[in-house]
Amino acid sequence: MKYIIEHLDEDLSQWSMWEYEQISKTVGKENLIFSNLHSIKNKQNLEKLKDLGETKEEPINELKQIDPKRACLLDPSAERTLCPEDADKFDFLIFGGILGDNPPQKRTEKLLSPRLPGIQKRNLGDMQMSTDNAVKTAKMIVEDGIPFDKIEFIDNYELKITEKESVVLPYRYLFEDNKPFMHKKLLKYLREHPFG
């Protein structure tokens, strides 16, 4: 399976880089493509991205190597949930490289779907996940054969900042070893800058 991240945010922030590092570790550099990178101004991060996967300036709809009949867009607005049997139907899973927003703005549907008319779509439940959590969840379903409803998640994770203060992250996270799936540096950053 190849995993494609269509980068849709204006620039390439450190936060996105942490998520992209997690994705590369999860699926392997050789199975990962980052597309739509033409507008990135942060050249340093763009260079670093080349160590994480294949990089493409062009948007997804211009990539010749992708057969749209064998591709699936992961979109929270899709009607069907990704299932282990989908492993036989698809060779490419496509995700939006978008940071979460609260409340969700349906940006996958608004920005990515129109570039892929007729594409098959699947959801990963009805709650918004970060792109790295969405990729890992999809991989568990199609490569490890674990149905979505057997996967353990934590919703609205409450991150403790001090004895008296905490911040709620309004997303769904994979829950492993008693903690949410998140880059260590992102967790540290959130503890140090809980209100942005």
Give the interface with ligand SAM as residue ranges (CB under 6 A): 74-76, 95-96, 98, 100-101, 104-108, 123-125, 127-131, 134
Report the nearest approach of ligand SAM to the CB of residue 118 (Å).
17
Report the nearest approach of ligand SAM to the CB of residue 28 (Å).
19
Nearest of 34, 49, 143 to residue 98 by alpha carbon: 34
The Cα–Cα gap between 79 and 140 comes to 20
Q: What tokens appear for 114 in the block?
A: 């129109």
Q: Is the CB of 13 or the CB of 165 nearer to ligand SAM?
A: 13
Q: Is the CB of 49 or the CB of 134 nearer to ligand SAM?
A: 134
CB 71 within 8 A of CB 86: no
Report the nearest approach of ligand SAM to the CB of residue 69 (Å).
19
Q: Is the CB of 85 or the CB of 101 nearer to ligand SAM?
A: 101
Report the nearest approach of ligand SAM to the CB of residue 191 (Å).
21
Whether the bond into 68 is cis, omega within 30 of 0: no
Nearest of 126, 125, 116 to residue 96 by alpha carbon: 116
Report the nearest approach of ligand SAM to the CB of residue 17 (Å).
15
DSSP, res 81:
B
The Cα–Cα gap between 93 and 171 comes to 21
CB 46 within 8 A of CB 28: no
Report the nearest approach of ligand SAM to the CB of residue 169 (Å).
12
CB 89 within 8 A of CB 70: yes
Q: Is the CB of 103 or the CB of 164 nearer to ligand SAM?
A: 103
- Nearest residue to ligand SAM by CB is 96
Q: Is the CB of 40 or the CB of 174 nearer to ligand SAM?
A: 174
The Cα–Cα gap between 56 and 35 comes to 5
Q: Is the CB of 13 or the CB of 47 nearer to ligand SAM?
A: 13
